Amino acid sequence: MDHDKIKKLLNEYYTIKDEIYNRKDDKLANYNKGKKIHLKQLKFHKNKARNRWIFGGNRTGKTECGAVECVWLLRGIHPYKKNKPDICGWAVSLSREVQREVAQSKILSYLKSDWIENIVMVSGKASAAKYGIIDYILIKNVFGGVSKLVFKSCDQGREKFQGTSLDFVWFDEEPPEDIYDECRMRVLDRCGLIFGTMTPLKGLSYIYEKIYLSQDEDTWCLSMEWADNPFLDRKEIKRLSSILSQSELESRRYGKFTDNFGLVYPEFDPDVHIIEPFSVPPEWQENISIDPGLNNPLSAHWYAVDYDSNIYVVAEHYEAKRDISYHAKKIKEICDKLGWRRKNGRIEALIDSAANQKTLAASKSVCELFYELGIAVNPNVNKDIFTGIQRVKRYLKPIDSPAKLYIFKNCVNMIREIKGYRWAEGDVPKKIADHSMDDLRYFIMSRPETPMLKVQYNEFQKDEKKLIKKLNRNKKHFN
C-alpha cells in the first residue's frame, strides 16, 4: 500500500475517532439512540399537527421531548419537520424558579457550548447560566443565521405575552387559559407550532376541553406513563405504584385527567382503540345501532365484527335538530358509500326501545317513520346500563388480548364522548354527551356473552378443591 493511501486511511480513522469522542459529550446526538428507545417520544416528534400535547405522569420523559423539540427547531435540524433559518420561540414555565430547575436546565443540557451565540440573563452570570435565570438565548442555526429562544413565566401575567410573532411556543406544564389563548395568537401569522408537556393535576381544566376532547385534525395529544419510559427501574415503578392512591396513580403515573367521580371507561386508550379506517370486508358487516334524538343529537354507528369477534366502529352519523326523514337520508347515504348490506331491500338497525312509543303530538312512532323510509329498526335492545357498561369494559380490555373493540378515527363524536364519559353520584353515568355511549351499549349487549377464560388448576389445587368439597359434605351431614 502506497504512502498516500495510508495517509488517507489514517485521516479517515482519526476523523471517525474524533466524531465518536464528540458524540459522547453530545446529548442531542445520543437522544433516543442505542439499545433503549422511548417510542412515545419519537411518536410525539414525528406527528405533524401544529398543536401537540403530551399528558404524562411524573418522570415519564415528557419534558425531554419538549426540550429536544425546541433545540431541533432552533438549530434547524429537526429530523421530521421542515427546517427554517432564524427561528424565534418561547419556552413557557409556571414561574421563574420552575423555569430554572426544569425547562432551562433541560434546554442547556442539549445545547453544546459552541452552538450558543449569546445568553442574556435576568439574574446571575451568563458564564454560569444554569445557576441563574435566563431571559433569552441566541443559538446558531445551521443555515448560517441565529435563532432566539425566550424564556417566559406565567406569573408575569398575560400582558407580557403580547405583540411578538413566533415560530413556536413550548408550555412546560399547564398555563393559565388567558396565556394559552394569547400564545396561540403569537404563532398565527407564521403558521407556527404550539406544543405542551404536562402532568394533569388540575382536574378537568380547559386543556381537557380544548385539547384532550378536541377532534380538530390539527390538534393532537398523547398519554405517557411510567412503563413507556425504558430508562425507569421496573422495581421502582412497582414500589411507587403500591403506595400511591388510585387518583394519584391516574395523574402522576398515567397522566390522566381526573375529577371527583372518575371516568366510566378508564380502560379506553386512544393509542390502542383508535385506528386508521380501512376497507371492511362485506362479511364483517354486522349491524347499525341508533340512539334517536330530535332536539338532541341522533347518534348512529356502523359496527363490523371480524372472525375473532373483534368489533370495529367504522362510521357514524351524529346530528341534532333534524327530523327522521333527514336522518334516514343520511343513513342511506353512508350505507351506499360503505356498500352496507340490506335485507329485502331494507337497511336493518338496532334502536332505543323508546323509539317504539307514540306521543300525543305524533300519530306514528319513530320506528314506524324509519320503516316507511326504508330502515327496519329493532327496538328490542337490552338497556341495562350497569351490565352494558361492564360488557363494554371487557371489550376495551379483555383478559386474553390488548383489545377487542376498535374505533375508526373518523368517528369523532364517539371518540369525544368515550373520552369524557364520567360517573355521576351513585352507580350511574352523567347524562351529558352520552348518545354514542348508548348506541354502543345497545350493540355490545346484542352480541353473545364473551366467555370467561376457563381457570386451569394444577394437581395440588385440584386435590385441595376435592378436600374442601368433602369437608363441606361432612359438615352438612353432622348438622
Distance of CA 290 to the CA centre of its chain: 27
Q: What pLDDT does residue 19 have?
A: 47
- Evaluate the CA torsion angle 164, 86, 172, 418 in order and state its sign: positive
The pLDDT, as a whole number, for residue 239 is 87
**Grid-cell match 451565540, residue found:** 117
Query: DSSP for 244-296?
Result: S-HHHIIIIIT-----SS-BS-TT--HHHHEE---PPPGGGEEEEEEE--SSS
Q: Domain 273-446: which topology?
A: Nucleotidyltransferase; domain 5 (3.30.420)
Domains of the chain, by residue range, sit at: 1-30, 38-259, 273-446
Instruction: Please report the pLDDT score of residue 476 as a whole number.
Output: 47
Q: What is the CATH architecture of 38-259?
A: 3-Layer(aba) Sandwich (3.40)
How far apart are alpha carbons 337 and 343 in whole angstroms? 17
Cα angle 427, 432, 437 (rounded to 5 degrees) comes to 75
What residues contact 358, with CB distance under 8 A and at least 6 apart? 364, 365
Q: Who contacts 116 (Cβ-Cβ below 8 Å, separation ≥6)? A: 137, 138, 139, 140
Q: List the one residue out of 203, 250, 246, 264 whose CA is nearest residue 426.
A: 264
Q: Is 237 helix (H, G, I), strand (E, B) or coil?
A: helix
**Residue holding cell 406565567?**
154
Region of 86 please: left (phi>0), alpha (psi -120 to 50) or beta: left
What is the pairing mode between strands 347-351 and 375-378?
parallel
Strand partners, 139: 116, 147
- Asked if 118 contacts 137 with a C-beta cutoff of 8 angstroms, the reply is yes
3-state secondary structure of 172: strand
| Residue 420 near residue 433 (C-beta atoms within 8 A) | yes
Q: What is the pLDDT along the chain (479 residues), one digit of tens a residue?
A: 666 776 666 666 555 545 444 545 689 999 999 899 999 999 999 999 999 999 998 899 999 999 999 999 999 999 999 999 999 999 999 999 999 999 999 999 999 999 999 999 999 999 999 999 999 999 999 999 999 999 999 999 999 999 899 999 999 999 999 999 999 999 999 999 999 999 998 888 999 999 999 989 999 999 999 999 999 999 888 888 888 877 778 888 888 888 756 789 988 999 899 999 999 999 999 999 999 998 999 999 999 999 999 999 999 999 999 999 999 999 999 999 999 999 999 999 999 999 998 865 678 999 999 999 999 999 999 999 989 999 999 999 888 788 999 999 999 999 999 999 998 876 789 999 999 999 999 999 999 875 444 445 556 656 666 666 666 555 544 44
Are the C-beta atoms of residues 164 and 148 closer than 8 Å to each other?
Answer: no
Predicted pLDDT at 24: 54
Residue at grid coordinates 348508548: 438
Q: How far is the C-alpha of 420 from the C-alpha of 407, rounded, in Å?
A: 15
- Of the candidates 277, 305, 265, 221, which has an alpha carbon nearest to the alpha carbon of residue 392? 265
**Which amino acid appears at position 59 of this protein?**
R
- Confidence at residue 21, expressed as pLDDT on a 0 to 100 scale: 46
